Structure 1
Amino acid sequence: MTSVLLMRLASPLQSWGALARFDRRDTQPRPTKSAVVGLIAAALGHDRTDDLGPLTSLRFATRADRPGTALRDFHIVGGGNYPLRPRDLITDHRRAAKAAAALDQATGPAFGHLPAQSVTHWYGAPKEIAPDPDLGTLVAGNTTRDAMMTTRWYLADAAFVAAVQHPDQALLNRISHALEHPARLLWLGRKSCPPTGTISGGVHTGTLETVLNTTALLPNATTTRPWAWFEATNGTHGAIQTRDQPVTFHPEHRTHAPRWETRTRLTPEPTIEWDIIP
């Protein structure tokens, strides 16, 4: 007998990138399995270098009760090497050492000089940053960097029902509790997209198909026949391949494998109601 954990993924902004690069970050029209498994791993307190263990065997589905609207966010960032983020100095000692030398050269003695062992706690920006009228870049001392134009896509005002299926009900109960008492901060695709309200919709007996077909639509749903995507086995009629099956989130060799899924419209006949704190 299998069980299914329901998750409510709602936020003013969401972003489920699959082919994101720094200057252009896309979003899929629905949550990806990789992102949802990552959210679960964060809630459980896993580190990125940890083995995903049973989380790789979760069967995944999602239902678009409120698909939302695509939103394009245009940025111009950079220009010069500053300001530096404290996070960069704390997490990357090699960058910290280079930053210390650059800061000392660009700012002079006015910013002081700290011992090498304290450099990861040193943060500052050079004075007199100004645009160069010929280069069109910001100049800080002898250092320059072209400004970068970036495009980032989001889903605005969207709400999804994500679900994971597994035969180990105790595992799903542990995940359900962790989603409401997370060990780490949670976000819907990007750190700028925190979830709103209750996430866990509880653990229910059945399969993804039966549970999503009997779960009430989310409040303010914009459709009575939402699209749903179900993970399927290779060879299932109408299934298409997508590459968002997480293998490891290790920063140095993050890996995703292909999986298969089908798409269908549902007309839920609710026997499972939501108990949501908005």
Structure 2
Amino acid sequence: MPEYLIFQLAGPFASWGDVAPGETRNSYRHPSKSAVLGLVAGALGLKRGQEEELQSLNRSLGFAAYWHQRFGPLEGREYQSLLLEDYHTSQVDPADKKFNPQTRADELSGPKNNRSTILSTRQYLNDAYARVALWRAGEGAVDLGELAARLKAPVFAPYLGRKACSPALPFHPWLGEAKELLEAFLAYPAPLLVPPGLGPATLLWEDRGTPCRVEPTQRLSFRDALVSRDRWQYEPLTLCSRTLEE
């Protein structure tokens, strides 16, 4: 039977990266494959410049996500994951070979004539909770047991899409066998701290090397398949989608 690594992603804020041209930085309502593999790579101790290793992760692992938009009750309240927007400003100096500041204070002490302000609108998903699954779908895949161990003791500090988005709960990785993908998600032993989902759930999966007992109602395309981490290039990734009624 196929072997799956399933873990949870929970936090007051998450940002799952949509296409981000110019000043608008949108977020998906669900974890993206590139964000999850980035988290896993950091847990393993891989750095951004290790192009070959990052490409290997992308090629060799299949990806799926399972989530409810509403969950609860927790302390008498129901929760809903909603998108919010942050109007973000940052001020930076242009590159200057004659002036090499070592700290932000040094940078602010330099000439102010060329200092510019960058404006952007950034989306965050608040009260974010989802489960994700990874499985071996190609040659050279990392050992799933090693991934599970590193999610419990990551090399680099993990975050949910952006460094400002810290996880609120442990990842609680679970490694197990199942006949097909949905069975694996339903077998996941959710921690007691996690409130139950309400209403229909959504299953999103990559159709690579794993059976699934439900047929997709949609096939969605996301620009989320890694081409080059060095150049920040991604190509379309097609994922199957199905809303699961209670």
TM-score (norm 1): 0.69
1:60 aligns with 2:40: no
The answer to whether the 8 A contact 1:81-1:143 is kept is no
Deviation of 1:221 (Å): 3.6
Higher strand share: 2
Deviation string, structure 1 residues 178-197 (Cα, Å, up to 9, x no partner): 11111112111111101122
Counterpart among 182, 185, 204 of residue 212 in structure 1? 185
The answer to whether the 8 A contact 1:61-1:164 is kept is yes
The answer to whether the 8 A contact 2:174-2:188 is kept is no
Q: In structure 1, what is the Cα distance between the partners aligned to 2:184 and 2:108? A: 58
1:5-24 equivalence runs, <5 A: 5-21=5-21, 23-24=23-24
Q: In structure 2, what is the Cα distance between the partners aligned to 1:205 and 1:247? A: 31
Deviation of 1:164 (Å): 0.7
1:124 aligns with 2:102: no
Aligned to 2:119: 149
Letter in 1 for 2:187: T
1:243 aligns with 2:215: no
The answer to whether the 8 A contact 2:151-2:173 is kept is no
In structure 2, relative to structure 1, the CA distance for the partners of 1:98 and 1:191 (3 Å cut) is: farther
In structure 2, relative to structure 1, the CA distance for the partners of 1:266 and 1:143 (3 Å cut) is: same
1:255 aligns with 2:233: yes
The root-mean-square deviation of aligned C-alpha atoms, in Å, is: 3.0
Q: In structure 1, what is the Cα distance between the partners aligned to 2:243 and 2:136? A: 23
Deviation string, structure 1 residues 24-62 (Cα, Å, up to 9, x no partner): 211011110011011111110112222122442211110
SS in 1 for 2:198: coil
The answer to whether the 8 A contact 2:9-2:130 is kept is yes
Aligned to 1:116: none
Aligned to 1:202: 174
Higher helix share: 1
Letter in 2 for 1:174: E
Deviation of 1:21 (Å): 3.9
Aligned to 1:136: none
Aligned to 1:274: none
TM-score (norm 2): 0.77
Q: In structure 2, what is the Cα distance between the partners aligned to 1:205 and 1:176? A: 14
In structure 2, relative to structure 1, the CA distance for the partners of 1:97 and 1:121 (3 Å cut) is: farther
Deviation of 1:260 (Å): 1.9
Deviation string, structure 1 residues 171-220 (Cα, Å, up to 9, x no partner): 11100111111111211111110112211331111232221133366722
**Aligned residues: percent identity?**
25
Q: In structure 1, what is the Cα distance between the partners aligned to 2:171 and 2:7? A: 5
Aligned length: 221
Q: In structure 2, what is the Cα distance between the partners aligned to 1:124 and 1:55? A: 39
Q: In structure 2, what is the Cα distance between the partners aligned to 1:17 and 1:142? A: 33
Aligned to 1:35: 35
Deviation of 1:149 (Å): 2.8
Q: In structure 2, what is the Cα distance between the partners aligned to 1:122 and 1:210? A: 51
Aligned to 1:134: none
Rg larger in 1 or in 2?
A: 1
Letter in 2 for 1:11: G
Aligned to 1:46: 46
Aligned to 1:163: 133
Q: In structure 2, what is the Cα distance between the partners aligned to 1:189 and 1:266? A: 26
| Gap regions ≥5 residues in structure 2 | 71-80, 209-215
Deviation of 1:23 (Å): 2.2
Deviation of 1:243 (Å): 2.3
